[in-house]
Every structure is written in structure tokens, then in C-alpha cells.
Amino acid sequence: MTQPRIYMDWNATAPLLPEAREACINALDLVGNGSSVHAEGRRMRTLIENARRSVASLCGASPASVIFTSGATEAANLVLTPDFRMGKTPLKIGRLYVSAIEHPAFREGGRFGKDQVEEVPVTSAGIIDLDALKAALSAHDRASGLPMVAVMYANNETGIVQPVESVAALVKEAGGIFVVDAVQAAGRVPLSIDDIGADFMVISSHKIGGPKGAGALVARGEILMPSALIRGGGQEKGHRSGTENAVAIAGFRAAAEVAAYDIDGRMAGISAERDRLEAAMLEAAPDVLIHGKDDARIGNTSFFTLPGLKAETGQIAFDLEGVALSAGSACSSGKVGQSYVLTAMGHDASQGALRISIGPGTTDAEIDRCAEVFAKISGRRRLPVAAA
């Protein structure tokens, strides 16, 4: 009898929540444009504004500061720009500083020129080097404009949590703008844009169980804002023109409400399952290298290298056994390549690494089955014979 497939790639995309599916279906039955003043338009506007409140609550922000986009990549390109306004006054950003382990949507620099983007190294533990960041900000040419710093809350490959509050303090001291990529943290860590000290935060619908095609740029206030990326009819207060994707936004709202409920309790159970799986992996293959195991990580992620097994080979082997996992980020058009995150951490990235990421729907039986598959695959390795 064929074993049911096991999905363990939640960091790439979470399964659509029943609540989100129902919200999307209900929204499909609504007619009207949210910019219209008639009853149908007002009904659609109410749907969008209710979603704005729910997303803001998830981020500990004000609803008025939530800008809906087509996803986190668009939100990143919206905020990563040299051109800002402080109220009605133009404000120039001279340079963007990103850590070496940022998601490609941030490492590419958005609307900054390549010569305006500077990578900040990370430690061997995969944490941004605060001394290097401080030195870079101290050397920043203020005549070129303000500095902007973009750092992820939790890395999408390793799950390692970054010291965002410490980064915020350095950015504030330098008089700069701080952007936090909270895509992997949303729903897994309680978020408050004020407590973090961020000026902007980026989140994504499909990472928390909502539909693809919706994301948000969340600001701390309404005074400091980037120039519009998409211009037109002036939707989203002129920050993002185009008729809102109300169906996806409705699903985003439902997912945000589920994600915001009892985060600590939910993640305690998920972390226990991840730790149980890693213990089984170490028992089956004591030489497995679990990256960031002794560092602060979000509780659903395990990123590991199995000596003698290349990542692409391992991914195929797991898939053939009915287990869906990934070899690092899933945002490279299906390509499996060398992990730039491991390289930035100073590790030999030639073998690559595999990422298991789980979620609230992951069962005990699935963890047990994944452990069995891991033991089976690790046992097939042909390791080099040590010299006598």
C-alpha cells in the first residue's frame, strides 16, 4: 500500500488554511470595486479594511500603516528605494545595507543601484555581525543621503533568529531607516513593529496559510513613506495603485487571524516535534550537521548537511520516498544550487543542505515517517573510507 505523501516545506509555502479558503470563496461571490461609492463598492471596501486591521494586529501596527501588495517581493521592492518622503518633503536614502544571508528579494536591492548596496557579513553562527554593521554605518557618507538597513527577523533557510532589536538601536543611532523582513517570523514569533524598533516590516500571505498573491508593507507610521512603485489610480492612499486583489486579501485576513492566536503555545508544540525529529536524525546519522542547532531558531525549521549526500540528490531521494522538503530557498525557479547562506557563514557549501520546515498541521505520524525515511536514505550513503 502506497504511503501518503508528507509535506515538510512550510517555509516555501504553507498549506492553505480552511478558514482562508472559505474567506476567498465568499469574497468571490461579492461584486463591486472597493474604490466605488455605491453599496457594492462600500461592501468591498469594508472587506479590505477589515483585512487591514487583522494584518496590522498580527504585526503590532496601526491599520492605517498597512499597504497591501501582491506579495513580499513587491513589498520589498516598494520599500527598498532611494526616494522617500517625510510628509511632503523629499528625503534621499544614500545607501542600502543588507546582511549576507538576506532573501534574494532584499539582496537584489530593490530600486537601489548595484553600487548603492553593501552586504554586511554574518558570523559563523549565521547572525549579522553587529560590529561590522556599526563600522559600516559609522563610515556612511551622510552627504549621499540617509542609510537604510534591511535585515530578516528569521532566516528562511536556517531558521536562525537575528538580533533585530540590537540592529534597530544601531540604525537609530546612525539616523537611518530600518526594514525588517518578517516573512518567516509572522505567526511564529509575536511581532510588534514598535518593540522591534523597525520603521517598516514585510510579510506574506502564503507563508502563514493564506493564498498566494497577497502581501503587505507595514510601516510604523504614515509620515515616512517610500515613493510609489506602481502608479495609477491612487489605491492604497497612492502608495500602491491598482484595484486591490480582494479575494486574496480576504484569505490573507483569515490567515492572519489564525496566525495571531496563541503563537507561543502553538510554536511550543511545533518546536517539540522539530526537536524530536532532529534527535532521531542524530541517532540514525551521528555525523549529520544541523546548522544553527545550538543557536536561537524559529521552532519549525531544520537545515542540515548529511556528509556524502549532495543536496539535490537528497531532495530527489526524499521526494521518491514521499517526503516533500527543499534544498534551501524555494525562490530560485526550482533550481538547486550552492547555498549562499552557508557560504556567508563560512561553511563548505559544495554539498549544499536540506531544509525541513513543518507547521501546525504536521502530525506525530509524519514526524515518525520522516525519521524513518531519513534513516533509510542516510544508510545508503557511500562515505569515503578513512586512511589506516
Residues with active-site annotation: 331
Question: Would you state the cell numbers that stand for residue 73, as one nine-digit string?
Answer: 517581493
CB-CB neighbours of 3 under 10 Å: 11
Q: What is the DSSP string of 194-244?
A: HHHT-SEEEEESTTTTS-SS-EEEEES-SSEEEPPSS-SS-TGGGTS-S--
Cβ atoms of 159 and 126 closer than 8 Å: no
CB 60 within 8 A of CB 218: no
Q: In angstroms, rounded to a whole number, what is the distance separating the alpha carbons of residues 385 and 388? A: 9
Question: Looking only at Cα atoms, what is the longest distance across the chain?
Answer: 84
Q: What are phi and psi of 240, to 5 degrees?
A: -155, 95
CB neighbour class for 184 (10 Å; exposed up to 12, middle 13-18, buried from 19): buried
**Going by DSSP bridges, is the β-strand pair 200-204/66-69 parallel, antiparallel, or unpaired?**
unpaired
Angle 73-67-146 from CA coordinates, rounded to 5°: 75
Residue 291, Cβ density class (10 Å: 0-12 exposed, 13-18 middle, ≥19 buried): buried
Residue with cell 517625510: 86
Contact 341, 101 (CB under 8 A): yes
E strand intervals along the chain:
6-7, 66-69, 83-86, 89-99, 117-120, 146-152, 177-181, 200-204, 215-219, 224-226, 289-290, 301-305, 323-324, 354-357
Angle made by CA atoms 57, 60, 65, in degrees to the nearest 5: 80
- How far is C-alpha 145 from the geometric centre of its chain's CA atoms? 28
